[in-house]
Structure 1
């Protein structure tokens, strides 16, 4: 019955009526969730003498689950930092494992001791999961280089990348791109196309394999890799670029990669696209020269659209638009100049 209910829930959740059914069942969800975990708690018989066994079992579950996820993602040529972080986040055992353990106990597959060991171990994994998720980016950044030389799949992929002929010939007799764009989303794609039409050498560094294939089909110069990876940055021409544009959504990778890029290229101009205005000062302190804020630019576009609809004179609209940009980006420019005067960045 439990397995049938699980399958039915998966089927209904993926249907078009899933949202409507979810709204109907929402008032009862918390009650049933409380009853479920209460029933699990009643099954637990904590024996402190066996607690070391429970902890070791929970640790084994976390390690095995993490390694399995890393192996799967590495075989798909996903960046190791992302693979390690995903493995840590998915390391816990889900609630459905209680149902499977109960069924195994009823059919004699699990003894009473094994049943209690499984329940306590699963609960331990669920307790430590929030902490693991919090420290996953920090741990993944330090563990990825180690895993790179342990997994044979990743070593094979790295050797294949190194045999790649590299960037295609660039116009103007330049040995590398003038502009390196990190992030092949809408912004990176549009900027790359404009640079290509104006015969300015560029290269896009993109992590997602599907986006890399799409960009290559459209004729863009693109390299697959992560901005926190030194080799990927070099293959993207970071050592030759005079302008570096960063447009990624991963704030942790953005902060870490920005520090590394500024050390590699202290004289390059770095333009960063960020979502929130509150991150601007932090990114400036980490080495960015220009900050483009999504929420700020969106607010400007909204009031411009409203004023145009209300018939306000275009010159007045442009005046307000320029004044708002000057008030924001002028402040950031002053902060950047103060930073340079203090000698925090060469």
Structure 2
């Protein structure tokens, strides 16, 4: 008879995860919380049916690899290099700070020195998997806070190598420690260098040869082999599967096949990453929380509060935009898969016992569940931080070099200069309408100024930058950036500075419309909806509908869409 055990486990895991995810979505909670609850329900520590606790975690590892690989494809080496200074400085502040909190937490709950030091290491590392899932759900995977957050995550991940190498000290075996640490670091460095050098040269060549076959199956198989092969190579060198997969994605991002690779890998990413969160729920031991609620609460508050505080402070000190800084910092306020690796190694080495390992796992789950709430309030907290008198906006330093020197009155301000803004800017140029562009990309600003366009380098949410752009005299502000955090900050700041300026803000999704209106937007534009309306006009015109009737129908539908944004109303009825 066929062994269908793993099929049964997967069917149950996906089925319960779907139900729990739907309930979480109905309650307006992130679906990943539903997935974790599903894992608790089918885990070995709760009554009722439980799945095999060996099979699901193995599939979950695939989810980690595909999730990080897809993220790497969306990023690039250039983007990581752009944030290296901020990421390294933030890591130098955040990691020692959170490690100190971890040690204090260990002492407060009665752990010994060795166990507390291990807990310090666990606290110092955040979960890149949780962070990318949150960003994907919010449509912010390529936002500034994502770039800074992942820059910090790469540093944290690399720090896992010396942490693991130093564990023998806590185990009481420090003989040849320097040699062990040196070998680990050298091996990791050599493998990373080989992966990058060979990958940059070999991967595009392989993808081109496979793409010429015009076989989607072969292309997908090649992509999966590259992702998992690189992840495995890094794992064998003492690095993590996640870092290896992320590195493979970065290599692919430099080729002309990045868009197709991403389209092929996304279904696998979404499918298997669900199992990662289900497997986390399966690890929870409710008895740990029930038996020692006070100690657990103290440790949880120190973990979540301390990581949020040090994470935000670390990025604020680097003098990036306060809203982006707090958002990036709050993204790191949890522990996850890398902390599990460190804690597991400590368990194997006898540094902690099974109960303490379960305690760490339970702390991790609580911090992961709290993460979506922290990320949601981060922009508001960042806006408050930005109002503090001692917070200096770094863009002020760059204004002298980037100011246009042209007096502007009754002009248009364009925030961001992507594809949407280029269309708007071109139309204004052709009509001779005075306008100024604000953009955070120095190369874009330099190019615009070279063409004679008034352009300022800086964050559009900065009062100083808006002041230099002439917000008090502007007639219209067009916020074209697709990122909600940046768009909200720019809209709020502009409205605070000029109650009469007409603000048109871009929404990423329909649910952001009401938020942006609350922030002060006069009008909100959702590009996908507007594109749908244009398709509708073209089709109905071909069907003989008059231009006058089309104007009435589309105006009515547009009003219904933007007036009922809170209801998430997508009606197919144009009438």
Shift of 1:191: 1.7
Q: 1: distance between equivalents of 2:536 and 2:474? A: 36
Count how many residue pairs are aligned between Structure 1 and Structure 2. Answer: 316
Shift of 1:117: 6.2
Q: Deviations over 1:152-187 (max 9, x none)?
A: xx56x3552354462243xxxx54562112232222
Shift of 1:63: 3.2
- Please name the residue that 2:404 is paired with: 167
Paired residues for 1:19-168 under 5 Å? 34-35=278-279, 37-39=281-283, 41=285, 47-48=292-293, 50-51=295-296, 54-55=299-300, 57-58=302-303, 59-68=305-314, 70=315, 75=318, 78-108=320-350, 110-112=351-353, 118-146=360-388, 149=390, 157-164=394-401, 166-168=403-405
The answer as to whether partners of 1:192 and 1:220 remain within 8 angstroms in 2 is no
Q: RCO higher in 1 or 2 (8 Å CA, sep ≥ 6)?
A: 2
SS of the aligned residue for 1:205 comes to strand
| Greater shift in the superposed pair: 193-202 or 323-332 | 323-332
Task: Give the helix-richer structure, 1 or 2.
Answer: 2
- Please name the residue that 1:322 is paired with: 551
The answer as to whether partners of 2:383 and 2:489 remain within 8 angstroms in 1 is no
SS of the aligned residue for 2:285 comes to helix
Shift of 1:302: 0.7
2:473 to 224, 235, 240: 240
Where does structure 2 lack aligned partners over 5 or more consecutive residues?
1-231, 253-260, 562-575
Q: Deviations over 1:173-217 (max 9, x none)?
A: x54562112232222222223323333221012345565456456
Q: 1: distance between equivalents of 2:511 and 2:279? A: 42
Paired residues for 1:179-190 under 5 Å? 179-190=412-423
The answer as to whether partners of 1:273 and 1:291 remain within 8 angstroms in 2 is yes
- Please name the residue that 2:411 is paired with: 178
Aligned in 2, Cα 1:40/1:6: closer, same or farther, shift over 3 Å?
farther
- Please name the residue that 1:300 is paired with: 533
Shift of 1:103: 0.6
* 1:192 and 2:437 matched: no
Paired residues for 1:197-276 under 5 Å? 197-208=430-441, 211-212=444-445, 215-216=448-449, 219-251=452-484, 254=487, 257-258=490-491, 260-274=493-507
Aligned in 2, Cα 1:216/1:103: closer, same or farther, shift over 3 Å?
farther
The CA RMSD over aligned residues, in Å, is 4.6
Q: 2: distance between equivalents of 1:27 and 1:284? A: 35
Q: 1: distance between equivalents of 2:235 and 2:287? A: 20
The answer as to whether partners of 1:258 and 1:288 remain within 8 angstroms in 2 is yes
